[in-house]
Amino acid sequence: MDGARQLLSDRWFSDNVMKIDRAVTIIFGMIWAIDGQFKFWPGFIQAFPKMVATAAQGQPAFLSGWFNFWVASASINPALIVYLSGLAELAIAFSLVAGFMRKLFYGVGFVFSLIIWMVPEGFGGPYGVGSTDIGTGIIYAIVFLFLAILNTTHGGEPYTLDAKLEGKIKWWKLLAEIKYD
């Protein structure tokens, strides 16, 4: 009997992979929306340069040029970087929740996640005794990669804004679908 339950369970997942994918994508989008709105909280602009400077502390010498550039940039015009980051995160959130321009935004989300990991998270480092975390940005990038792979292997998601637009605008698939031929 346990084997039959396992078979039914496995079958349920395979039969519902598109719904599960959609639910996970929406939840991931809501996380991005929450993170994006934090950028507009009072005081974040003032805290941002210190956050970048803190990420630079203790990094290997060969990364000093990278962090010096970002520390200087964050000090010169923190509002520009913070607001652009917030808008980018909200756009990524909208894309994930609504299923809008997925092909484009899976790539944007992947690259933006790596930038978050490389700048304010300081590559998750510095690493040494007591290091327990590699940072969230790299994990977010991997999630975007998996979403793109799911889209490629299972085709378009029927429960998205893209699916509605594809029926009306022939070329929309170029922005929405990642095809493996």
What pLDDT was estimated at residue 131? Answer: 66
Token duo for residue 107: 């790539």
Token duo for residue 130: 């007591």
Dump pLDDT digits (tens) for 85-107: 999 999 999 999 999 998 899 99
Dump pLDDT digits (tens) for 25-55: 999 999 999 999 999 998 999 999 998 898 8
Written in H, E and C, the secondary structure of the chain is: CHHHHHHHHHHHHHHCHHHHHHHHHHHHHHHHHHHHHHCCCCCHHHHHHHHHHHHHCCCCHHHHHHHHHHHHHHHHCHHHHHHHHHHHHHHHHHHHHHCCCHHHHHHHHHHHHHHHHHCCCHHHCCCCCCCCCCCCHHHHHHHHHHHHHHHHHHCCCCCCHHHHHHHHCHHHHHHHCCCCC
- Top pLDDT among 62 and 47 is at 47
Q: pTM for this structure?
A: 0.85
Q: How buried is 115 (Cβ within 10 angstroms: 0-12 exposed, 13-18 middle, 19+ buried)?
A: middle
Contacts of residue 86, defined as CB under 8 A and 6 or more positions apart, other chains included, come to 36, 37, 38, 39, 40
Count of alpha carbons within 13 angstroms of residue 147, beta-carbon side? 31
- Top pLDDT among 131 and 147 is at 147
What pLDDT was estimated at residue 180? Answer: 53
